[in-house]
């Protein structure tokens, strides 16, 4: 039981909850909003790329969702074939196969963190906090892999040296130009990450004094402030 108490943290006494209800509700509400945004991001594109080429005056565009690509994929693959670049669908196959379930798992972990009133809640929300940065890092890795491993037998292989298309911003490859930017889905995931970090601060402010008192440790300045504030509100 002591081990479970250290992991899940103390339960909130009824009197404390009546007196400082919002103090304990804010972390849960913030985490709830974070997981809603993360779940909604599943249905929106995470990344956009426009390719400008002489053959296509209006340019070619693709949008990357977490589990599939949309747009002028075939046309871009056709152009890439001449310089020896692999088809876009061969990139991040494992990530696209598991992405939906990974995000659902992160949503459940964030939800579970609301029930953990100890420092271990950080471990549950860490994947959701790091996910937006991890997405861009993984995307850049695959762009590097495709650009650096060109087929030497391709028709135009001798005219193009290995290159690294940027995941964000403008890149130039021979007579082609790429313009890459994050999509609304990524922004929702980033907002969820920021809200989760904010929830951790609110979580610590609410539960650390209660956790310290429950374990009989000396109360720190935060705990004294909490107790004083509660006393003033009660008066």
**pLDDT tens across the length of the chain (235 residues):** 444 455 555 666 566 666 766 778 899 999 999 999 999 999 999 999 999 988 888 999 999 999 999 999 999 999 999 889 999 999 999 999 999 999 999 999 999 998 887 888 999 999 999 999 999 999 999 999 999 999 999 988 788 889 999 999 999 987 889 999 999 999 999 999 999 999 999 988 877 777 677 666 434 444 435 434 443 343 3
Whether residue 101 is contained in a domain is answered as yes
Question: How many C-beta neighbours within 10 Å does residue 108 have?
Answer: 12
Instruction: Kindly report the pTM of this predicted structure.
Output: 0.84
Per the structure, the complete domain to which residue 163 belongs is given by: 30-204
- If phi > 0 it is left, if psi is from -120 to 50 it is alpha, else beta; for residue 91 that is beta
Whether residue 234 is contained in a domain is answered as no
Rounded to whole angstroms, the Cα distance separating 208 from 201 reads: 10
Rounded to whole angstroms, the Cα distance separating 188 from 132 reads: 9
Cα dihedral sign, 25-226-11-16: negative
Question: How many C-beta neighbours within 10 Å does residue 103 have?
Answer: 23
Whether residue 118 is contained in a domain is answered as yes
Whether residue 15 is contained in a domain is answered as no
Residue 10's pLDDT is what?
61
- Closest CA relative to residue 130, chosen from 182, 180, 197, 46: 197
Whether residue 221 is contained in a domain is answered as no
Residue 131's pLDDT is what?
98
Whether residue 225 is contained in a domain is answered as no
The one-character DSSP state at 164 is -
Whether residue 149 is contained in a domain is answered as yes
The number of distinct structural domains making up the chain is: 1
Residue 49: strand pairing partners: 62, 180
E strand or H helix that includes residue 12? none
Cα dist from 102 to 106, 107, 127, whole Å = 6, 9, 9
Whether residue 199 is contained in a domain is answered as yes
């Amino acid at each position: 039981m002591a081990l479970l108490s250290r992991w899940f943290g103390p339960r909130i006494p009824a009197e404390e909850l009546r007196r400082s209800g919002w103090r304990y509700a804010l972390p849960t509400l913030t985490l709830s909003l974070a997981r809603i945004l993360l779940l909604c991001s599943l249905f929106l594109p995470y990344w956009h790329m426009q390719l400008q080429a002489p053959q296509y005056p209006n340019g070619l565009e693709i949008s990357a969702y977490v589990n599939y690509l949309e747009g002028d994929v075939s046309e871009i693959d056709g152009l890439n074939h001449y310089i020896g670049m692999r088809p876009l669908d061969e990139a991040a196959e494992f990530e696209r196969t598991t992405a939906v379930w990974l995000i659902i798992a992160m949503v459940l972990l964030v939800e579970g963190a609301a029930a953990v009133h100890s420092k271990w809640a950080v471990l549950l929300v860490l994947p959701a906090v790091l996910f937006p940065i991890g997405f861009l890092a993984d995307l850049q890795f695959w762009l590097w892999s495709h650009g650096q491993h060109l087929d030497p037998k391709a028709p135009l292989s001798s005219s193009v040296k290995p290159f690294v298309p940027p995941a964000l911003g403008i890149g130039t490859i021979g007579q082609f130009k790429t313009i890459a930017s994050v999509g609304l889905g990524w922004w929702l995931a980033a907002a969820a990450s920021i809200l989760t970090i904010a929830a951790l601060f609110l979580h610590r402010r609410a539960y650390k004094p209660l956790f310290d008192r429950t374990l009989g440790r000396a109360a720190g300045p935060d705990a004294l402030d909490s107790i004083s504030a509660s006393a003033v509100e009660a008066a």
